[in-house]
Amino acid sequence: MLKRNLLTLLCLAVSLIACPAIFFAHASPQGRIEAITAIQLQQVLTGLSNTVYVTNAHDGTNRLFIIEKAGVIRVAQPGASTTTVFLNITSKVLSTDNERGLLGLAFHPKYAINGRFFVYYTRQTDGALSIAEYHVTSDPNVADPNSEIFFTGGFPIPHSSNTNHNGGTIMFGPDGYLYAGPGDGGASNDPPGNGQNINALLGKILRIDVDHPNGPVPYSSPVDNPFFGATQGADEIYAIGMRNPFRFSFDRGTGQLWVADVGQNAREEIDIVTRGGNYGWRVMEGMICNPAFNGGVCTPPAGSILPIFDYSHSGGRCSITGGYVYRGARSAVPTASYIYADYCTGEIWQLLSGTNTLLLDTTLNITSFGEDEAGEIYVLSQNGTLNRIVASPPPAACSYSISPANQIFSLSGGEGTLTLTTAGTCGWLAVANVDWITLESATGVGNNTLSFLVRDNPSSSPRTGLIHVAGQTFTVIQNGTMSASCSFELTPASQSFSNAGGNGTITVTTAAQCAWGATPSASWITITSGNIGTGNGTVNFSVAPNTGPPRKGTIAIGKQLFKIKQK
């Protein structure tokens, strides 16, 4: 606690503004406080550098993406203990100060199909608040740094010479629009009055449509934004009266927008933000008049909305780190709990039905929370670790498998199924990477048979699509209109094995437009690789030992049968 208190005192000595959302935060939350609940932080990754955000791509791959403030996005595969670089834009990012840097990341709702994602950063060399679009390459774990579409129009948002109050979150809402939360521009008491200025984008929650450009501007504003069109005010604004909404999130169960707005010297607050709402800053700080503005005497702005919860800066608390409403299936915390933290104290709190519960008092400087595809919550800290919140004692790790791994369809398409096997408390997300495959259900918990529909193929060539579910990959190959003319040749055409069994290889020769699958006729024949493909290919298989009488089997490939005999 000594180190944390010294950090707080240093912040206050340097400036009479609240400590930065990224690096400072310990206050006694107001309202009813319950006793500590038993949870654990389960270590996922270590050795990270100056990390500020973690999220997933909601594409069924179960990967996690971690932002390093300097301008690097790292990707972690399911169960991996190391990461690789997904995108490096350090040359574009100004990150020399505590609150500047690459701060936000949002994957398009149809990322699995279109490969689009968006970043939020402070720009070299002026610190302007910037949003840019990037695309993934043919390698799903590497983005194209040259694919940047830099947002113009209302962006980049000019920032004052103050380095703080940049906000940091961008996130797609359930309406498909991109939300952003720039801070008020810094300094004490919002000198320009940005928070209440409906013509300024600073100190707001913004909402834009990235799927419909407005001429040369790569986005448009939804027509139901409160100041759209002829109405006085900036078209991009969704809500006003924010100080520094560094971290916000949507409840995946209700769609509500939860914003943790970092306070000045008196209060940290949690808001449920709605379209057109005014959340009070700079006049209000949390539920009280801003003590440092107008002597703490105020008339709240007309129609202003009080936070659902706030807390003071007692006990060394000083900056809220917003989190998520828990909707996971592993019972880490009660369902519908909002999980958040204070940066300076490392306390992790749960807000549920007006009751605030201290879950865990850590020594971490928590910079962000994050969700995986199943709704489990992660904790990211400045000490270079990523942890998962789990119940105590923790449940067994989730493992997933699918069967079969692939299927071939005729050009007319049809219905298919795959079976997912996992524990009853393990959640999952299923996503197709092409628009001609439609899933009957996209989310669930435990074992499930997933049904999907393949639409007809009007092309002469076969096509390939993938269904990613819980980190597993199911392959769909569909024939084109030229499939009726396909012929296949297998080399060799047959093979004999001793009773000890063994391995074999089949070479498939056919035209490039011809799709095929390899299907064994018996359980003692296993395809080890190459069980589906288009054009020329190779099928590897194994034959199990035989303790009975001689037996025969086949592997069907295209319109041919490969024959197997075993003593």
Alpha-carbon separation of residue 153 from 100, 207, 208, 394 (angstroms): 22, 13, 11, 48
Question: What is the bridge-based pairing of β-strands 494-497 and 560-566?
Answer: parallel
Confidence at 6, pLDDT banded by 50, 70, 90: very low
**Among 12-21, 108-117, 401-410, whose mean pLDDT is lowest?**
12-21
What average pLDDT does range 394-423 have in this prediction? 96
Instruction: Give 217: exposed, middle or buried? Use CB within 10 Å, 0-12, 13-18, 19+.
Output: middle
Query: To which residue do tokens 């003319």 refer?
Result: 485
- Exposed (0-12), middle (13-18) or buried (19+): which is 300, by Cβ within 10 Å? middle
**Residue pLDDT, tens place only, 434-465:** 999 999 989 999 999 999 999 999 998 999 99
How far is residue 122's CA from residue 125's CA, in Å, rounded to a whole number? Answer: 9
Rounded to whole angstroms, the Cα distance separating 359 from 356 reads 9
- E runs forming strands in 372-447: 377-381, 386-391, 401-403, 406-409, 414-421, 427-432, 437-439, 443-445
The band of 214, judged by pLDDT with boundaries at 50, 70 and 90, is very high
- CA–CA separation, 64 and 263 (whole Å): 30
**Residues 309/31, Cβ–Cβ less than 8 Å:** yes
Q: Which two tokens stand for residue 407?
A: 């299927």
Residue 248 CA to residue 290 CA, distance in Å, equals: 22
The model's confidence at residue 11, banded by pLDDT at 50, 70 and 90, is very low
Residue 13 has pLDDT above 80, yes or no: no
pLDDT band at residue 24, thresholds of 50, 70 and 90? very low
Token pair of 363 as six digits: 């020594």
DSSP 193-252: -GGG-TT--TTEEEEEBTTS-BTTBS-B--TTSTT-TTSSS-TTEEEE--S---EEEE-T
Alpha carbon distance 165, 169 (integer Å): 12
Give pairs for 75-81: CB < 8 Å, separation 24+.
Answer: 75/141, 76/44, 76/45, 76/386, 77/141, 78/471, 79/397, 81/45, 81/46
| Strand segments (E) across 455-497 | 463-469, 472-478, 489-491, 494-497
Q: Is the model's pLDDT at 78 over the cut of 80?
A: yes
pLDDT digits (tens, 9 = 90+) for 313-346: 999 999 999 999 999 999 999 999 999 999 999 9
For residue 412, is pLDDT > 90?
yes
Contact 279, 242 (CB under 8 A): yes
Q: Rounded distance, CA 555 to CA 542, Å?
A: 11
Return the pLDDT at 96. Answer: 87
- Stretch 225-245: mean pLDDT, rounded? 98
Q: Is pLDDT larger for residue 486 or for residue 525?
A: 525
> Per residue in 40-73, pLDDT tens?
999 999 999 999 999 999 999 999 999 999 999 9
Q: Is the model's pLDDT at 169 over the cut of 50?
A: yes
Identify the burial level of 458 via C-beta atoms within 10 angstroms of its C-beta, where 0-12 means exposed, 13-18 middle and 19 or more buried.
Answer: exposed
Give 554's strand partners. Answer: 563
Give the tens place of pLDDT for each residue, 241-281.
999 999 999 999 999 999 999 999 999 999 999 999 999 99
Count of beta carbons in the 10 Å neighbourhood of residue 319: 30
The answer to whether residues 324 and 307 touch, using CB atoms and an 8 Å cutoff, is no
Instruction: Summarize the confidence of residues 213-226 as an average pLDDT.
Output: 98
Residue 99, C-beta contacts closer than 8 angstroms, at least 6 positions apart: 20, 21, 22, 23, 163, 164, 165, 166
Q: What is the pLDDT of residue 55?
A: 98
pLDDT digits (tens, 9 = 90+) for 101-124: 999 999 999 999 999 999 999 999
Model confidence band, residue 22 (pLDDT cutoffs 50, 70, 90): very low
Percent of the chain past pLDDT 90, that is, above it, reads: 89
Please state, in angstroms and rounded to a whole number, the distance separating the CA atoms of residues 54 and 376. Answer: 12
The mean per-residue pLDDT over the stretch 404-424 comes to 95
Give the model's confidence band at 23: pLDDT under 50 very low, under 70 low, under 90 confident, else very high.
Answer: very low
Beta pairing, strands 39-45 & 386-391: antiparallel
pLDDT the model gives residue 164? 95
The whole-number pLDDT of residue 27 equals 37
452-500 per-position pLDDT tens digit: 999 999 998 999 999 999 999 999 999 998 888 899 999 999 999 999 9
What is the rounded average pLDDT of the residues 397-418?
95
For the residues 491-519, what does the mean pLDDT come to?
Answer: 95
Contact 349, 357 (CB under 8 A): yes
Confidence of residue 30 (pLDDT cuts 50, 70, 90): low
pLDDT at 200 over 90: yes
- What's the pLDDT at 17? 36
- In the block, tokens 């919550």 appear at 377
Grouping H, G, I as helix, E, B as strand and the rest as coil, residue 414 is: strand
C-beta neighbour count of 472 within 10 angstroms: 22
Q: Between 432 and 558, where is the model more confident? A: 432
Average pLDDT, the chain: 93
